[in-house]
Amino acid sequence: MSKKVKNILADKTWNPVTGCTKISPGCLHCYAETICEWLCKMGQEKYKNGFNLLLHEDSLSEPVKWKRSHHVFVCSMADIFHEHVPFSFIDKIIRTIMLTPQHKYQFLTKRAERMSEYFQHRKIPHNLWLGVTVESKTTKNRIDIVRTMNAPVRYLCCEPLLEDLGELNLDNIDWIIVGGESGSEVRPMKKEWVLSIEKQARDSGTAFFFKQWGTWSEDGVKRDRYVNGCTIDGKLYQQFPE
């Protein structure tokens, strides 16, 4: 039943910003914090500030050098719309995205209001997908913001899913990713919460991607996340937006 978890959502990460601060229930066991602090201890120059926010001008042109086309997750060690990332710096990131139409890019934020403010008077590149994290009922307002964005793909990332989200309005939402939390002190994710989202996605024609159970398994037991896998009742759900 178990399948190995692998990242098939994006094949590259690009980190012109590193570091962040917590703003949401989903931030409690932030993996980016753990990794940034570990890389700092390992003496990596880019992570010399640990999880304190840092802008990396020297990383801005990285995607221009990539010969093959990639699906790029932008700022996996930060929230690109963090209040300390100036709009002028996001402009530079967008410039690189527009210069490299051979790549597809994904932004994911918990700061949906700031994303909306940024794009209010700016065009969204045709190769940029915009997403918001929706891990609990209190964060569902982010869905209303992302659905209004004129992006080629608008998506929700319900990871780590912390409770039953109840009824979802999925108008203008192209894709939903769901996943559980990993680590030693993780919060469980229940199967019925996942199935409720899957059904609503199916009913509304929204692509549904189940990423992983995390440390709590489908049968409510804590195990290694690789053993718990990414199937529901033995079935993979790995749809992508068209």
Q: What residues line the site for ligand SF4 (CB under 6 A)?
A: 20, 22, 26-27, 30, 32-33, 78-79, 110
Q: How far apart, in whole angstroms, are the C-alpha atoms of residue 87 and residue 85?
A: 7
The nearer residue to ligand SF4, 26 or 179, going by C-beta atoms, is: 26
Q: How far is the CB of 38 from ligand SF4 (least distance, A)?
A: 14
Evaluate whether 128 touches 75 at the Cβ level (below 8 Å). Answer: no
Q: How far apart, in whole angstroms, are the C-alpha atoms of residue 86 and residue 128?
A: 19
The nearer residue to ligand SF4, 30 or 186, going by C-beta atoms, is: 30
Q: How far is the CB of 153 from ligand SF4 (least distance, A)?
A: 20
Q: How far is the CB of 138 from ligand SF4 (least distance, A)?
A: 14
- Residue 230 token pair: 């990414």
The nearer residue to ligand SF4, 21 or 196, going by C-beta atoms, is: 21
Q: How far is CA 190 from CA 31, 69, 137, in A?
A: 21, 37, 15
The nearer residue to ligand SF4, 56 or 191, going by C-beta atoms, is: 56
Q: How far is the CB of 68 from ligand SF4 (least distance, A)?
A: 27
Give Cβ neighbours of residue 192 (< 8 Å, ≥ 6 apart): 164
